[in-house]
Amino acid sequence: MAKRKTKFICQDCGYESTRWMGKCPGCQNWNTMTEEFEEKTTASSSRSFVTSARGGVTKPQPITKIERKNEQRLSTNMKELNRVLGGGVVPGSLVLVGGDPGIGKSTLLLQVSSQMARQEHRVLYISGEESVKQTKLRADRLDVADDNLFVLAETDVEYIEKVIEEMNPTLVIIDSIQTVYLDAVTSAPGSVSQVRECTAAFMRLAKTKGIAIFLVGHVTKQGAIAGPRLLEHMVDSVLYFEGERHHTFRILRAVKNRFGSTNEMGIFEMKEEGLTEVLNPSEIFLQERTAGSAGSTVVPSMEGTRTVLVEIQSLISPTSFGNPRRMATGLDHNRISLLMAVLEKRVGMLLQNHDAYVKVAGGVRLDEPAIDLAVTVAIASSFRDVPTKAGDVVIGEVGLTGEVRRVARLEQRVMEAAKLGFKRAIIPKKNIGGWTVPDGIEIIGVNTVNEALEECLGGASSGGSAFEL
């Protein structure tokens, strides 16, 4: 008879311990350790299970003798989703989709299922959170109706495996991985052990049958996918669905992708009839920009292979407290402090008695160094209360000595700015030359932050009392 082993597992990070602890040593969270039972199996039985699941024992072979085969991707009608996945859905892949409750994960995957079904692919949508009738109500609202789309309300993994083997679908949606369970695991559904073992079962099924499987994952209060970190290592791709509940825009990012880039971003808009693609996000992010406002700049940011023009807003105001506030939305807080230190030391701006609030309009998060100069100009513009020119875009990385460093893919950034009607581009001087300047836009090269402020604000780079409000 198999021996039962008791252990305590953190439900947030998967840390295991033989005794209960109030605070998890792995993630430092309180009251997350729960008791679980684990069936202890022998090594021989485990080895035979792996052998039978993979269809026989394989022998090592030289890498030069292995034939390379190009996987035929399954293309959906959503270009944004295809871009994030690296060109389409790879057969036999296991994709994990995470996001806040109510953000639109089920809506997105139901629309993808409908599109794949219309291409004569058999699709199985398994819901562990909704009944078949509830799924039908959502499908009617999204105008989803096709005979190749099958719906099943089930949480037993063993029964799900039998249904998949009988149907042999092309695509399977599991909504969600926290609701399904295996009878062999005595823990409750959603626990670390259940999530790990169920994901392993679906991974074996995807690899042996060549079926693409999408798993919906819940997220914790900190925004990470619930369950052990091993869950993200087991799957082929991890997609995060981001957005604010009070805004209609949704952003799909790939934080892991074995079949494509992790820098891609897909943008959708939530409407009554479902999610629609935003093919030109730059116009959406800039359509509410107020011309002639101090503290506003536009920067072309690279998101994978796509250029997105976003507005950076800054508000600098005097403070009566000893420690001024530094708040950032869509940017790294430490980067704001670094750039403000450069302005104080290299330019002479007295910012130590001012609160600073910096925001990326539209809910986008930027993390590339090419936005440094635009953030610096926005802070200086708000501090001096001098507006930037509406037809300017600012590109460049800022060093600690106040120099403006070169950036990558400058030609693509400037070309996108020219398409949207911008007249000037302030760029690093070292990036000038070696590429074709688009018609209708003027290129201005700068070496230092002082030169950039002189061009953008017209004399705002003079230090000392010239910056007093």
Residue pLDDT, tens place only, 318-349: 988 888 999 999 999 999 999 999 999 999 99
Overall average pLDDT of the 114-121 stretch: 94
Sheet holding 16-17, edge to edge: 16-17, 4-10, 33-39
| Structure-token match 């499987």, residue found | 213
Give the residue from 168, 181, 187 showing the smallest Cα distance to 39.
187
- For 155-181, the pLDDT digits (tens) are 999 999 999 999 999 999 999 899 999
pLDDT at 463 (0 to 100): 42
What CATH number is associated with residue 363? Answer: 3.30.230.10
pLDDT band at 285 (very low <50, low <70, confident <90, very high): confident
pLDDT at 462 (0 to 100): 42
pLDDT at 3 (0 to 100): 57
DSSP line for 397-452: EE-TTSBEE--SSHHHHHHHHHHTT--EEEEEGGG-SSSPPPTT-EEEEESBHHHH
Total domains, the chain: 3
pLDDT at 221 (0 to 100): 62
CB contact set of 179 (below 8 Å; sequence gap of 6+): 128, 129, 155, 189, 190
Q: How far is it, in rounded angstroms, from Cα 284 to Cα 272?
A: 19
Inter-residue contact 95 to 213 (CB < 8 Å): yes
236 and 364 in a common domain: no
Does any domain span residue 116? yes
297 and 259 in a common domain: no
**Between the CA of residue 437 and those of 372, 397, 443, what are the distances in Å?**
22, 20, 8
311 and 187 in a common domain: no
Q: How far is it, in rounded angstroms, from Cα 185 to Cα 38?
A: 7
Q: How far is it, in rounded angstroms, from Cα 102 to Cα 107?
A: 9
pLDDT band at 224 (very low <50, low <70, confident <90, very high): low
Strand, helix or coil at 275?
strand
349 and 421 in a common domain: yes
pLDDT at 459 (0 to 100): 55
Domain that holds residue 311: 284-461
Tell me what percent of the residues of the chain surpass a pLDDT of 90: 55
Give the residue from 173, 73, 74, 174 showing the smallest Cα distance to 121.
74
Q: How far is it, in rounded angstroms, from Cα 443 to Cα 418?
A: 11
Residue 105, H or E segment: helix 105-118
Q: How far is it, in rounded angstroms, from Cα 236 to Cα 203?
A: 9
pLDDT at 265 (0 to 100): 85
327 and 365 in a common domain: yes
Structure tokens, 400:
């600690």
Does any domain span residue 50? no
pLDDT at 82 (0 to 100): 93
End residue of a domain, out of 219, 247, 279: 279
306 and 272 in a common domain: no
Does any domain span residue 222? yes
Inter-residue contact 419 to 388 (CB < 8 Å): no
pLDDT value at 449 more than 80: yes
Q: Which residues are documented as binding site for ATP? A: 99-106
pLDDT value at 244 more than 50: yes
Strand, helix or coil at 314?
strand
Residue 230, CB-side half-sphere exposure with 13 Å CA sphere: 16
End residue of a domain, out of 232, 256, 279: 279
- For 286-295, the pLDDT digits (tens) are 888 887 789 9
Does any domain span residue 51? no
End residue of a domain, out of 249, 279, 309: 279
Residue 462's Cα: distance from chain center in Å? 40
Residue 250, CB-side half-sphere exposure with 13 Å CA sphere: 24
31 and 83 in a common domain: no
- For 57-108, the pLDDT digits (tens) are 568 889 888 887 766 889 998 999 999 998 899 999 999 999 888 888 999 9
306 and 251 in a common domain: no
229 and 153 in a common domain: yes
Strand, helix or coil at 307?
strand
95 and 10 in a common domain: no
pLDDT at 26 (0 to 100): 82
Strand, helix or coil at 268?
strand
pLDDT value at 5 more than 80: no
Inter-residue contact 360 to 286 (CB < 8 Å): no
436 and 383 in a common domain: yes
Does any domain span residue 469? no
This prediction has a pTM of 0.76
Q: How far is it, in rounded angstroms, from Cα 168 to Cα 212?
A: 11
Q: Which residues are documented as binding site? A: 99-106
344 and 251 in a common domain: no
Does any domain span residue 68? no
Does any domain span residue 430? yes
Does any domain span residue 62? no
Structure tokens, 14:
């998967």
Strand, helix or coil at 162?
helix
